[in-house]
Amino acid sequence: MRSSMTTLNRLDSAANLDEYASAVTDFIWKCTENCVSRKTIRVFPNRKPWMNYEVQSLLKARAATFRSGDTSRYMESRRDLWKASKGAKRQYQAKLEARANQRDAGRQWQGLNEITGRREKAGNINNCGTSLPDELKVLYARFEQKRSVLLPPDEPDLVAWKFIVTEEDVRRAFLKINPRKVTSPNGVPEWVLQACASELAGVFADIFNCSLLQSKIPSCFKKATIIPVPKKSKVACLNDYRPVALTSIAMKCFKRLVIAHINHSLPVNLDALQFTYRSNRSTADATSLALHSSLEHLENKDI
């Protein structure tokens, strides 16, 4: 790991933060395109969620023995397929149970949907005409205003800065990335950042520290792809679409590091009713407390 002074010296060499970050992300994208092979996988709508590679191989083996006409081999392949299917189902059941025991409400809801077989009906967006992207662009950008150009802030004192992102921090953040997420707008897959966390931690630590030093976010980290998701099965107007933004995964890791530093710097004697930006607290806790207070007041009117 480089020392803090070495990192700060490298920050001064990044004269243009946008070019520095864009060159790094473009180089990673180019290496990924040239070195990583692609494979097309066919997915059928009736594919069982517990299906794995072993079960697929035994299905092909059973079909081959059936065509061969060998009865003994066919019965043996059926028996192997039955055992593998039972094992795959048990593994899938354990996965759903572990997901249900997590404290993440989103993953619990996803597990319930998988158990019950519930599927949300997607809205029909094919009958909205070719002008739909332009109309959605105007709708989502209606609050944007041209802001006056701000002068760059004065360079802070490096001794009093106290918060420097290290390579180890970036490496741990990259290792926690979910590789199954959708690719970022800059074209760098999430699994690449996770697989090459040790190799990319140094350069991204320099970019993050340079961003903190200049109080500026690289333009390539600000890009977002807006995906309009229908709220209803039948779309009647533009407000029936929910905009889902796909942002840079590197920027998400950077924000997690900054938020962790801010939370660590907060005093311990905060208000007990403070739920935002605190660990193990959420809006669900605030809603439950407000509902409990209201019901308690209705039950005890004299108090």
- Residue 215's pLDDT is 83
Q: Which domain holds residue 85?
A: 53-116
Question: Per-residue pLDDT for 147 more than 60?
Answer: no
Same domain, 191 and 259: yes
Same domain, 91 and 207: no
- Residue 121's pLDDT is 55
Q: How many CA atoms lie within 13 A of 198 on its CB side?
A: 0
Inside any domain, residue 43: no
- Residue 14's pLDDT is 43
Same domain, 63 and 136: no
Compute the chain's Rg from CA coordinates: 26
* Residue 136 phi, psi dihedral angles, 5° rounding: -65, -35
Same domain, 130 and 258: yes
Query: What tens digit of pLDDT does each residue of 55-112 get?
Result: 989 999 999 999 888 889 999 999 999 999 999 999 988 887 777 777 767 777 777 7
Inside any domain, residue 293: no
Burial of 28 (0-12, 13-18, 19+ CB in 10 A): buried
What CA–CA distances, in Å, run from 13 to 8, 18, 30, 215?
A: 9, 13, 24, 16
Instruction: State the total domains in the chain.
Output: 2
Inside any domain, residue 216: yes
Same domain, 179 and 71: no
Same domain, 242 and 131: yes
Same domain, 12 and 74: no
- Give the global pTM: 0.62
Question: Per-residue pLDDT for 189 more than 80?
Answer: yes
